[in-house]
Amino acid sequence: MAQFRVCPDSGFYFDKSAEQLMKVNAVAGVVCLLLAGIMALGVILTRWQTIHLLPADMFYTALTSHGINALIFWIIFFEIAVLYFASSTLLRCRLAAPRWAWLAFALMVTGALLNNIAVLSGKSSVMMTSYVPMQAQPHFYLGLILFAVGALIGCFVFLGTLVVARAERSYEGSIPLVTFGALTACIIAIFTIASGAIILIPTFLWSIGYINHIDAEMYRVIWWALGHSSQQINVAAHISIWYLIVGILFGARPMSEKVSRFAFLLYILFLQLASAHHILVDPGMGTEWKIFNTSYAMYLAVLASMIHGLTVPGAMEVAQRGKGLTKGLFEWLRKAPWDNPVFSGFFLALIIFGFLGGITGVVMGTEQINLIIHNTIYVPAHFHATVAVGTTLTFMALTYLLIPVLFRRGLFLPRLAQWQPYLFAGGMLLLILFMLGAGTLGVSRRHWDIGFSGALLSFEYPGTAYMMMAMAGVGGVLGVVGGASFLLVTVGSLLFGPKLEPSAGILESFGIRPLAAGVYDVERPERLAMAQKLPVEQHGSGGFEAPGTFILAMLLLVCFVIYYFINWDYLSSVWPMG
Amino acid sequence: MSSFQPPADRLWWKTPVGKDEIIWIGIALVWCLIMFFMMPYWHLYGKQNLSSEAYQTTPAKYKASVDAMVERYKTGEEKGIPIVSPPAGSDIYVMGRLWQWYPILELQKGSSYRLHLSSLDWNHGFSLQPVNINMQVVPGYEMVLNITPDQAGDYAIVCNEYCGIGHHTMLGKIIVKE
């Protein structure tokens, strides 16, 4: 029974059920992103003190909804699509247990709906973290649990597909690096979901009265094994997508399979320890526990990220140099397709993730430095650099690729798509920088009014703090416009984008007869061959394969070192304590 | 294509690694170790460190400690909230509850105190401004910090952990006298 179609442009084989599941999961994710974006506007326009749009209760509802939809639902729906792509499509293999995958999807949709109903009713404004003993409605927790169970089933469908691919010998040699990265994300996801189950199931039982007490500190410790690790799934997933994008756009191959895979392995081993970042100024944790965990055991996961930071653009540089772009240090980068949103989205995400997200994350996760940063608006600034730009912009870039390849549509408003990554990244950059600044001045996160209206006592943040929150507001609004442009292009493409004819002409130029789109006439795809061995060539300089990337990496290191010690200096100015 | 193809070498883990990567991994590892050892270094030589002293408690027990301190050392009142001036070196208590930090403390510049923090109800965030010291305050747990205010002035305690609709009205005060 034939069940695969070949994408005539990319050469990817799509299993029929995998394709449908990727589509529905990606679309569900985008719907959640829409909701998250609407809420983002309410949040940022309220924190811009001169506008102060929403009343307090609506603000906290919007903030809860924004957090959960953006950080959990949008990203995990999309990641499930990525897992199916990285297994079934990349390995040219049928999806294992598609019925289970549909059950997973149904559970995730039900869970997301239940949770959103609880939040939007205004009676579960407990923030994404839902720290006990503050209580949400039972269906708030139940929704999260159902969603997590669905995602867990999705993870096992991914693992099952790897087993099927191996058993049916659909590829030669080892799994590709991109699939290896997706496997890393999947393993971290399983750990994450298990932690979530351990804490959310008792919390649900507590909310319906079966359990009368949940220890507040225990909740925080275990919840963060869910809360932080869920964001580590993103790191592994979006770095895999970076490797995929440089592979597709430039024909890049990893500089070294060994090094890149070793870096992913370090993530599996150490990344989850970072849950401790959230517990550094909590009562009751020992110093050794904090130092070991907050540093991912001697910063071994940071080492992994620094490795990817070199090898992703490095792979691109080597490929570009191989095509003759060898002038100077940066011709390979200057002559990159900056008007292609797949490239610009990926590259902006890489830079902002590394320079802002990575550095701020390590700084505020330093045991003692955390006490000048904990719960200030510096924290959301950090994770907007990592998740809102790093992950979300990467997923947007990938979507521009999936619209023609998976959905077989041309882009609607392609000019807007060209500008969208710059608009989104530019807006978010402003938001991030000014929130970092305001956080350094002590401005609180999750706070309706930093003017403290109605308080018995009084306090005034410095005027600069207000100015910075206003500038963050400008950035946030630009970011929302960028996000809306993405949604417009995506939804517009699916509804009105030109249907791609069987082929956009890429294959004909090689004399191959194109297959009609949507015709599942391939019973068994040709086995995925190993990459060809390349002749040993040297296009770099001074013995370096990627000298430009190496300079960029050194620039990152210099910024990192300077900013790290600036923060120690700042710490040394506060009251002595111990 | 290649990053999404199986590696060219079946034994990919035996292939040599380029100079760029080896040097970068070496530099990055050294930096990671420096950052790691900065934390124990600061415990030995730095002045701002987090204490790991904490006790399990109950709201009633903690409130009793706070009330005992207030009764003993109360020197005044501001807007109905007692102002307390405990002696240098003593145990001082701040209690978070919906939506108030209680009581107002009056401290001597340059003296050390054992500051106890806990909450009677939900999580709260002790954010001392403008000096910018931030601590998590968790119900059921009493954290003890040794603090030495080194500048005189009025300081506000902002609540920076979301605690419901009145969160933004939750302000407290610490006065540091010359």
- For residue A455, give Cα distances in angstroms to A82, B124, B162, B164: 48, 16, 15, 14
In a domain, B48, yes or no: no
The helix/strand/coil state of B171 is: strand
Average pLDDT over residues A150-170: 96
Asked if A274 and A299 count as a contact pair (C-beta separation under 8 A), the reply is no
| Chain A residues 19-78 with a CB less than 8 Å from chain B | 56-57, 60
In a domain, B47, yes or no: no
ipTM at complex level: 0.96
The helix/strand/coil state of B95 is: strand
Name the amino acid, one letter, at A434: F
Average pLDDT over residues A150-174: 96
The yes-or-no verdict on residue A503 having pLDDT over 60 is no
> What does the alpha-carbon distance between residue B109 and residue A576 come to, in Å, rounded to a whole number?
12
Beta strands in A295-434 (DSSP E): none
Residue from B90, B98, B123, B111 nearest B178 by CA = B111
Distance of CA A120 to the CA centre of its chain: 24
Mean of pLDDT over chain B:
95
Q: Where are the domains of chain A?
A: 16-175, 179-336+544-578
Task: Render B107-167 in DSSP notation, one character per residue.
Answer: EETT--EEEEEEESSS-EEEEEETTTEEEEE-BTEEEEEEE---S-EEEEEEE-S--STTG
A256 touches chain B (CB under 8 A): yes
The helix (H) or strand (E) run that includes residue A119 is helix A98-120
Contact B173 A530 (CB under 8 A): no
The helix/strand/coil state of A522 is: strand
| Chain A residues 159-198 with a CB less than 8 Å from chain B | 171-179
Q: Is 0.80 surpassed by the pTM of this model?
A: yes
Contact A550 B132 (CB under 8 A): no
Question: What would the two tokens of residue A293 be?
Answer: 């965990």
A532 touches chain B (CB under 8 A): yes
Q: pLDDT tens, A204-239?
A: 999 999 999 999 999 999 999 999 999 999 999 999
Average pLDDT over residues A406-426: 94
**Antiparallel, parallel or unpaired: β B141-147 and B54-56:** antiparallel
Contact A291 B39 (CB under 8 A): yes
Contact A574 B8 (CB under 8 A): no
- For residue B9, give Cα distances in angstroms to A173, A354, A529: 8, 30, 11
The yes-or-no verdict on residue A178 having pLDDT over 70 is yes
The yes-or-no verdict on residue A506 having pLDDT over 60 is no
The shares of helix, strand and coil residues in chain A, as percent rounded to the nearest 5, are 70, 5, 30
Shortest distance between the Cα of B176 and any Cα of chain A, in A, equals 12
Residue in A57, A255, A299 nearest the CB of B35:
A299
A300 touches chain B (CB under 8 A): yes
A384 touches chain B (CB under 8 A): no
Average pLDDT over residues A322-330: 92
Closest residue, chain B, to A377 (C-alpha): B160
**Antiparallel, parallel or unpaired: β B171-177 and B104-108:** parallel
Residue B160: list chain A partners with CB under 8 A. 374-376, 444-447
Residue B67's domain is classified under what CATH number?
Answer: 2.60.40.420
Name residue B77's beta-bridge partners.
B82
pLDDT category at A530 given cuts 50, 70, 90 is confident
Residue in A56, A283, A457 nearest the CB of B138:
A283
Q: What is the pLDDT of residue A516?
A: 45
The yes-or-no verdict on residue A574 having pLDDT over 70 is yes
A153 touches chain B (CB under 8 A): no
Average pLDDT over residues A377-398: 97
Asked if A384 and A428 count as a contact pair (C-beta separation under 8 A), the reply is yes
Measured at the alpha carbon of residue A205, what is the angle toward residues A203 and A207, in degrees to the nearest 5? 70
Contact B1 A248 (CB under 8 A): yes
Asked if B168 and A452 count as a contact pair (C-beta separation under 8 A), the reply is yes
> What does the alpha-carbon distance between residue B175 and residue B178 come to, in Å, rounded to a whole number?
10
A vs B: CB pairs below 8 A: 343
Contact B13 A258 (CB under 8 A): yes
> What does the alpha-carbon distance between residue A64 and residue A56 come to, in Å, rounded to a whole number?
12
Contact B162 A446 (CB under 8 A): yes
The yes-or-no verdict on residue A510 having pLDDT over 50 is no
Which letter does DSSP use for residue A540 in this model? S
| Chain A residues 85-114 with a CB less than 8 Å from chain B | 90
3-state DSSP of A433-473? HHHHHHHHCCCECCCCCCCCCCCCCCCCCCHHHHHHHHHHH
The helix (H) or strand (E) run that includes residue B93 is strand B91-97
The helix/strand/coil state of B101 is: strand
Question: What would the two tokens of residue A162 be?
Answer: 């790897």
Shortest distance between the Cα of B107 and any Cα of chain A, in A, equals 13
The yes-or-no verdict on residue A538 having pLDDT over 80 is no
Q: What is the pLDDT of residue A301?
A: 94
* Unique residue bearing structure tokens 């060809």: A532
Residue from A461, A440, A464, A462 nearest A452 by CA = A461
- For residue B63, give Cα distances in angstroms to A340, B125, B159: 62, 18, 19
The yes-or-no verdict on residue A511 having pLDDT over 60 is no
User: Helices A138-167 and A177-207: crossing angle, nearest 10°?
Assistant: 150
In a domain, B140, yes or no: yes
Q: What are phi and psi of B129, to 5 degrees?
A: -120, 150
Question: What would the two tokens of residue A190 be?
Answer: 């399983």
| CA dihedral angle for residue A195, residue A199, residue A204, residue A207, rounded to 10 degrees | -160
Residue in B3, B118, B161 nearest the CB of A246:
B3
Average pLDDT over residues A364-369: 96
Residue in A133, A286, A557 nearest the CB of B31:
A557
Q: What is the pLDDT of residue A529?
A: 87
> What does the alpha-carbon distance between residue B48 and residue A206 come to, in Å, rounded to a whole number?
39
The region, left, alpha or beta by phi > 0 then psi within -120 to 50, assigned to residue A460 is beta
> What does the alpha-carbon distance between residue A396 and residue A68 come to, in Å, rounded to a whole number?
19
Q: Where in the sequence is the domain holding B116, given as residue range(s)?
A: 54-177
In a domain, B58, yes or no: yes
Indicate the number of domains in chain B. 1
Which letter does DSSP use for residue A276 in this model? G
> What does the alpha-carbon distance between residue B173 and residue B127 come to, in Å, rounded to a whole number?
11
Average pLDDT over residues A532-540: 75
Average pLDDT over residues A438-442: 96
* Unique residue bearing structure tokens 């969208």: A420
Q: What is the pLDDT of residue A534?
A: 76
Beta strands in A383-445 (DSSP E): none
- For residue A215, give Cα distances in angstroms to A212, A219, A223, B118: 10, 6, 12, 14
Residue in A258, A534, A577 nearest the CB of B145:
A577
User: Helices A75-84 and A138-167: crossing angle, nearest 10°?
Assistant: 10
Residue in A172, A367, A529 nearest the CB of B50:
A367
In a domain, B19, yes or no: no
Q: pLDDT tens, A49-76?
A: 999 999 999 999 999 999 999 999 999 9
Contact A533 B141 (CB under 8 A): no
Q: pLDDT tens, B22-51?
A: 999 999 999 999 999 999 999 999 999 988
